[in-house]
């Protein structure tokens, strides 16, 4: 006889044998028996049982940035699990220099993922490299989970913050002269080959690029000649020339940074100088760089003209 049938039989017997004066105690007994009946039904499969398993999820992503020397200023990225605890069991990457990464190179603590004791010196700079992490999952509560492993892909990027002055010295200039002729791959910008007017004694040479001593993201290109009073050089024309030279510079391409923005500004206090700011992308890998063009080799000259929009 099942538990539920026994309980129902006991209830019936209690009602037949009890005197009228014991109604209250019978009522209490019935309540207890009903509770036992419900519990017995559930225990025998009438509902309830083990909790429904839940799907564990993992949130691990973003760009793990390291510095130019491959050893310092390594940041961390967020790592979290829902409904589970995770233990890192495997690390893999298609990037050759990252294939030696192992589980002991990663630290997981306080909801973050860090990397340690690994030399990124030979890893390509200026791009993100995918690394796949495999985790063993265990339930974080009494509720079971639907799977016991999960993978996540993170990206490790090495900064190449400054483009060298030697790279800029290899820039080739493309220009369109007043007659509409296209001049390509020039080593210099000659006054006779630009449309800006008036201009005299203008000659910018790519080999004359110089880098700042205090700020290595600033490059200076000074006119090899002294210029003339009243000169007016077009900022827009030189923006096109400089932009094209950057796009065609094979060494800059090697930094994986063909994508960039270039903006210009004139200096009202020193009209002989105009500045072009170059924002290479992704910006997390590169500092802003700037090129300053000086219209005269003679800094003592009081009037050598100025830049115009």
Summarize pLDDT for 142-200 with one digit per residue, the tens.
999 999 999 999 999 888 767 889 989 999 999 888 888 889 999 999 988 899 889 99
Helix (H) or strand (E) holding 7: helix 3-17
Average pLDDT over residues 43-47: 45
Identify the band that residue 280 occupies on the pLDDT scale cut at 50, 70 and 90. Answer: confident
112 found inside a domain: yes
**Judgement on whether residues 172 and 256 belong to the same structural domain of the protein:** yes
Q: Specify the pLDDT at position 287.
A: 78
**Judgement on whether residues 145 and 39 belong to the same structural domain of the protein:** no
26 found inside a domain: yes
Specify the CATH number for the domain of residue 109: 2.60.40
- Flag whether pLDDT at 245 surpasses 50: yes
120 found inside a domain: yes
Identify the band that residue 35 occupies on the pLDDT scale cut at 50, 70 and 90. Answer: very low
282 found inside a domain: yes
51 found inside a domain: no
Helix (H) or strand (E) holding 139: strand 128-139
**Judgement on whether residues 197 and 84 belong to the same structural domain of the protein:** no
pLDDT > 70 fraction of the chain, expressed in percent and rounded:
82
Q: How many domains does the chain contain in total?
A: 3
More confident residue, 246 or 251: 246
**Judgement on whether residues 196 and 294 belong to the same structural domain of the protein:** yes
Q: How far is CA 204 from the centre of its chain?
A: 37
Say how far apart CA 175 and CA 245 lie, in whole Å.
Answer: 10
**Judgement on whether residues 227 and 274 belong to the same structural domain of the protein:** yes
Say how far apart CA 282 and CA 278 lie, in whole Å.
Answer: 12
Identify the band that residue 136 occupies on the pLDDT scale cut at 50, 70 and 90. Answer: very high
52 found inside a domain: no
Say how far apart CA 208 and CA 224 lie, in whole Å.
Answer: 8
Q: What is the residue range of 73's domain?
A: 57-158
Q: pLDDT tens digit string along 204-213?
A: 999 999 999 9
Say how far apart CA 131 and CA 98 lie, in whole Å.
Answer: 8
Instruction: Please name the residues in contact with 30: beta carbons below 8 A apart, sequence gap of 6 or more.
Output: 11, 14
Q: Specify the pLDDT at position 20.
A: 46
Q: Which of 136, 158, 180 is the last residue of a domain?
A: 158
- Flag whether pLDDT at 7 surpasses 80: no
**Judgement on whether residues 25 and 148 belong to the same structural domain of the protein:** no
DSSP strand pairing (128-139 vs 149-158): antiparallel
Q: Specify the pLDDT at position 72.
A: 80
Identify the band that residue 291 occupies on the pLDDT scale cut at 50, 70 and 90. Answer: very high
Q: What are phi and psi of 206, to 5 degrees?
A: -60, -30
**Judgement on whether residues 10 and 78 belong to the same structural domain of the protein:** no
Q: Specify the pLDDT at position 33.
A: 47
Q: Yes or no: say if 150 and 275 are a contact pair by the CB < 8 Å rule.
A: no
**Judgement on whether residues 176 and 143 belong to the same structural domain of the protein:** no
**Judgement on whether residues 139 and 230 belong to the same structural domain of the protein:** no
**Judgement on whether residues 35 and 61 belong to the same structural domain of the protein:** no
**Judgement on whether residues 279 and 176 belong to the same structural domain of the protein:** yes
Identify the band that residue 42 occupies on the pLDDT scale cut at 50, 70 and 90. Answer: very low
More confident residue, 37 or 238: 238
More confident residue, 1 or 43: 1
Q: Specify the pLDDT at position 277.
A: 96
Average pLDDT over residues 124-144: 91
61 found inside a domain: yes
Q: Chain-wide mean pLDDT for the chain? A: 83
**Judgement on whether residues 189 and 293 belong to the same structural domain of the protein:** yes
Q: Specify the pLDDT at position 178.
A: 82
Q: Specify the pLDDT at position 2.
A: 47
Instruction: Give the HSE-up count for residue 203: Cα atoms under 13 Å, Cβ half-sphere.
Output: 6
Q: Yes or no: say if 224 and 273 are a contact pair by the CB < 8 Å rule.
A: no
Lowest-confidence region among 16-20, 154-158, 166-170, 221-225: 16-20
- Flag whether pLDDT at 4 surpasses 70: no
92 found inside a domain: yes
Q: Specify the pLDDT at position 126.
A: 74
pLDDT > 90 fraction of the chain, expressed in percent and rounded:
54
């Amino acid at each position: 006889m099942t538990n539920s049938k026994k309980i129902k039989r006991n209830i019936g017997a209690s009602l037949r044998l009890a005197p009228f004066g014991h109604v209250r105690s019978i009522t209490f007994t019935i309540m207890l028996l009903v509770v036992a009946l419900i519990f017995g039904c559930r225990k025998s499969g009438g509902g309830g049982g083990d909790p429904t398993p839940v799907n564990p999820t993992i949130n691990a992503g973003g760009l793990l940035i390291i510095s130019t020397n491959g050893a310092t200023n390594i940041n961390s990225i967020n790592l979290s699990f829902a409904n589970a605890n995770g233990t890192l069991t495997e690390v893999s990457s298609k990037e050759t220099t990252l294939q030696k990464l192992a589980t002991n190179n990663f630290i997981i603590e306080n909801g973050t993922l860090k990397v340690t004791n690994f030399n990124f010196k030979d890893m390509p700079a200026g791009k993100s490299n995918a690394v796949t992490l495999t985790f063993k999952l265990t339930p974080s509560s009494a509720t079971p989970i639907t799977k016991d492993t999960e993978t996540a892909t993170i990206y490790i990027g090495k900064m190449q913050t400054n483009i060298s002055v030697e790279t800029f010295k290899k820039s080739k200039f493309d220009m369109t002269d007043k007659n509409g002729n296209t001049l390509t791959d020039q080593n210099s910008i000659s006054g006779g080959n630009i449309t800006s007017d008036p201009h005299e004694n203008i000659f910018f040479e790519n080999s004359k690029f110089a880098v700042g001593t205090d700020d290595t993201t600033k490059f200076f290109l000074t006119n090899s000649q002294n210029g003339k009073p009243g000169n007016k050089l077009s900022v827009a024309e030189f923006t096109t020339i400089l932009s094209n030279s950057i796009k065609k510079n094979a060494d800059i391409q090697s930094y994986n940074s063909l994508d960039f923005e270039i903006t210009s500004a004139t200096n009202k206090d020193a009209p002989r100088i105009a500045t072009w700011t170059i924002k290479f992308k992704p910006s997390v890998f590169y500092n802003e760089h700037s090129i300053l063009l000086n219209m005269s080799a003679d800094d003592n000259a009081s009037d050598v003209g100025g830049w115009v929009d």
